[in-house]
């Protein structure tokens, strides 16, 4: 919206827009492009420039998580645009007293907790490899208390474990639910939202989300939103990957029962794992946005182009001091140079 004003050819407009920008509250400026659903699965990229781009004032991103309860405060500022979502990876983490302490110290903007990561998957592939009955016991003992305010006083919204997007994942959820009701025949394992993973083609994504919606909402008469916390098209060429993301973004943005989603992932192609291949990366090996990365950031409409890099160290501290002023100065540069 801001860029439209700047592109108008009437000179008076430019000046008025700049004045408005200079004196408008930074929060308004900073949220112009924000998409409340879109977030990132964050591996802890230590390249400051990449992080500065992800949190820049025109970012569409609004949240991140890193498969742990510990936020990346060195890389992603606590008071920045991205809300941090803690995740309790497995039973060890659920039992660890540090987990409750760190979750209790998160800012009030954090209100949701993700639970066990791919319990139906092996540890080698990032899963937590937990039997449904063990997961049910640990969930009732350690995760449900966050929901009731019995673990540190705050009432969190909690998710069921996120399985792999496969028949094995669905079977795990079915057995988990049975175990939950065996332990607590009245309440089972209460949940506020569902976390889903998907690696594959677009039509498979729609089908997996439809299955979860059927399992929880239609068949069990619940009314739960789904968060797609990992998704990508692994091992595909750039054209196919971009097309899959493009279809998925439009679909997920429009789908009422999807509350949030995160592409896997926000890293450089050189940091991608062998299983997904480097085609899923939002950054190339030098830190420029890939075509995929530019699309995820909202493209030229939001001021992001393929090859674009984030700002270095100096701009980062300036941004923290006064986002509004820096953004306004950036617009001034745009105005002088005559393009956005």
Ligand X SMILES: *[C@@H]1O[C@H](CO)[C@@H](O)[C@H](O)[C@H]1NC(C)=O
Q: How many residues make contact with ligand X (CB under 6 A)?
A: 14
Q: Would you say 74 or 182 has its CB closer to ligand X? A: 182
Of 243, 255, 315, 330, which lies in the binding site for ligand X, with binding defined by CB under 6 A?
Answer: 243
**Within a 13 Å sphere around the CA of 4, how many CA atoms are in the beta-carbon half?**
3
Minimum distance of ligand X from residue 290's CB (angstroms) = 12
Minimum distance of ligand X from residue 336's CB (angstroms) = 30
Q: Would you say 219 or 317 has its CB closer to ligand X? A: 219
Q: Would you say 161 or 188 has its CB closer to ligand X? A: 188
Contacts of 101 (CB under 8 A, 6+ apart): none
Cβ(264)–Cβ(231) below 8 Å: yes
Task: Identify the bridge partners of residue 117 per DSSP, sorted by sequence position.
Answer: 162
Q: Would you say 43 or 243 has its CB closer to ligand X? A: 243
Contacts of 336 (CB under 8 A, 6+ apart): none
Of 220, 238, 307, 312, which lies in the binding site for ligand X, with binding defined by CB under 6 A?
Answer: 220
Q: What DSSP letter does each residue of 288-329 carry, written as one string? A: PBPHHHHHHTTGGGGT--TT-----HHHHHHHHH-HHHHHHH
Is residue 219 involved in binding ligand X (CB under 6 A)? Answer: yes
Longest dimension (CA), the chain: 71
Q: Would you say 216 or 304 has its CB closer to ligand X? A: 216
Stretch that binds ligand X, among 197-205, 209-217, 265-273, 332-340 (CB under 6 A): 209-217
Q: Do β-strands 157-162 and 38-41 pair in parallel, antiparallel, or remain unpaired?
A: unpaired
Of 74, 92, 141, 214, which lies in the binding site for ligand X, with binding defined by CB under 6 A?
Answer: 214
Stretch that binds ligand X, among 61-69, 84-92, 207-215, 271-279 (CB under 6 A): 207-215
Of 211, 235, 301, 308, which lies in the binding site for ligand X, with binding defined by CB under 6 A?
Answer: 211
Is residue 250 involved in binding ligand X (CB under 6 A)? Answer: yes
Tokens standing for residue 116: 């066990």
Cβ(207)–Cβ(215) below 8 Å: no
Minimum distance of ligand X from residue 251's CB (angstroms) = 10
Q: Give the number of residues written for the chain.
A: 340
Q: Would you say 94 or 295 has its CB closer to ligand X? A: 295
Of 53, 55, 135, 295, which lies in the binding site for ligand X, with binding defined by CB under 6 A?
Answer: 295
Tokens standing for residue 49: 């420039």
210: left (phi > 0), else alpha (psi -120 to 50), else beta? alpha
Is residue 335 involved in binding ligand X (CB under 6 A)? Answer: no
Q: What DSSP letter does each residue of 120-136 carry, written as one string? A: TS-GGGT-----HHHHH
Is residue 223 involved in binding ligand X (CB under 6 A)? Answer: no
Q: Which residues bind ligand X (CB under 6 A)?
A: 177, 181, 188, 211, 214-216, 219-220, 242-243, 246, 250, 295
């Amino acid at each position: 919206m801001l860029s439209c004003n700047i592109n108008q050819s009437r000179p008076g407009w430019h000046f008025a827009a700049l004045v408005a920008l200079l004196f408008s509250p930074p929060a308004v400026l900073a949220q112009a492009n924000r998409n409340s659903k879109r977030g990132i699965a964050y591996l802890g990229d230590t390249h400051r420039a990449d992080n500065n781009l992800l949190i820049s004032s025109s970012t569409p991103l609004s949240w991140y998580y890193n498969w742990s309860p510990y936020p990346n405060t060195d890389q992603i500022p606590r008071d920045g645009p991205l809300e941090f979502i803690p995740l309790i990876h497995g039973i060890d983490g659920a039992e660890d007293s540090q987990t409750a302490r760190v979750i209790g110290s998160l800012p009030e903007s954090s209100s949701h907790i993700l639970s066990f990561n791919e319990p139906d998957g092996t540890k080698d592939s990032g899963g937590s490899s937990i039997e449904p009955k063990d997961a049910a016991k640990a969930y009732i003992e350690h995760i449900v208390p966050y929901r009731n305010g019995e673990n540190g006083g705050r009432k969190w919204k909690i998710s069921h474990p996120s399985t792999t997007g496969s028949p094995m994942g669905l079977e795990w959820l079915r057995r988990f639910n049975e175990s939950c009701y065996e332990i607590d025949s009245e309440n089972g394992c209460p949940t506020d939202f569902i976390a889903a993973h998907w690696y594959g083609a677009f039509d498979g994504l729609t089908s997996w989300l439809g299955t979860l919606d059927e399992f929880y909402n239609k068949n069990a008469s619940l009314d739960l939103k789904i968060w797609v916390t990992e998704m990508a098209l692994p091992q595909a060429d750039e054209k196919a990957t971009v097309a899959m993301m493009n279809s998925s973004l439009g679909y997920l943005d429009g789908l009422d029962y999807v509350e949030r989603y995160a592409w896997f992932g926000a890293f450089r192609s050189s940091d991608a794992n062998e299983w997904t291949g480097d085609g899923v990366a939002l950054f190339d090996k030098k830190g420029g946005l890939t075509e995929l990365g530019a699309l995820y950031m909202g493209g030229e409409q939001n001021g992001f182009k393929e090859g674009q890099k984030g700002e270095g160290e100096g701009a980062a501290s300036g941004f923290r001091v006064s986002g509004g002023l820096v953004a306004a100065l950036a617009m001034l540069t745009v105005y002088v140079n005559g393009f956005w």
